[in-house]
Amino acid sequence: MKFFVDTADVTKIRALVETGFVDGVTTNPSLIASSGRPIQEVLKEICELVTGPVSAEVTATDLEGILKEGRYFAKLASNIVVKVPLTPNGLKACRQFSDEGTPVNVTLCFSAGQALLAAKAGATYISPFIGRLDDIGETGSDLIHQIMEIYSQYPHFKTQVLAASIRSALHVVEVARMGVHVATMPPKILHQLYQHPLTDKGLTDFLADWEKTGQSILPA
């Protein structure tokens, strides 16, 4: 499974890239707005830091506007993925971008039927938002299971399932068990994957016992 980091904070991306765990980046208008910087500047800098896909989301909702913004994004860097909403116009644009050879991330997916349409439109990625479903009393991971099951029935579908709206390390594990292709997560969630109290306790105990020996592993 690939790990994408969901942020427009270049400082955090740079630090996470150094871990070797970051395969790509996803952004959205809210994340770009929180950066307080021009979108073109942010996207170019991210694309220089990350060799993998970088999703850049359009803000237009009409077909012509989506196409113009998406084509503009695609010219910024070779690893840009145009991110479009799961709307009729978004899916029409997805088909045109796909036919032009531009990778597309179809976002704001909340049903298996929507995911089926995205695959038929030639989406490179479909982004089901599992955390937001959990927020309204549904089970977001059930949606991932449904989409993975449907896609597995049709080998000609090339769309990758990109689990989004990840709220916890448990979400990451759940979607990984289902064989999801990609999980995109805020930096804090990637850091949570390291953490377990027994790991911390075990390391503390080992180091305390070693200290008692008075030894040094490396020769003086």
pLDDT, tens digit (0-9, with 9 covering 90-100), for 79-130: 999 999 999 999 999 999 999 999 999 999 999 999 999 999 999 999 999 9
**49-81 pLDDT tens trace:** 999 999 999 999 999 999 999 999 999 999 999
The residue from 83, 92, 188, 212 that is catalytic is 83
Buried b (16+ CB within 10 A) or exposed e, 18-42: eeeebbbbbbbeebbeebeeebeeb
Q: Which two tokens stand for residue 172?
A: 């990451």
* Cα 53 from Cα 60, distance rounded (Å): 21
Burial class (CB in 10 A: 0-12, 13-18, 19+), 104: buried
Residue 220 has pLDDT above 90, yes or no: no
**124-151 pLDDT tens trace:** 999 999 999 999 999 999 999 999 999 9
> Please, which residues bridge with residue 125 across strands?
105, 160
Domains and CATH numbers, the chain: 2-195 (3.20.20.70)
Q: Which of 42, 70, 21 is nearest to 185 (CA)?
A: 21
User: What's the half-sphere exposure (Cβ side, CA atoms, 13 Å) at 181?
Assistant: 16
Q: What is the pLDDT of residue 51?
A: 95
Verify whether residue 83 is a known catalytic residue: yes
* Cα 33 from Cα 143, distance rounded (Å): 29
pLDDT-based confidence at 20, cuts 50/70/90? Answer: very high
- Would you say 179 and 149 are in contact if contact means Cβ atoms under 8 Å apart? no
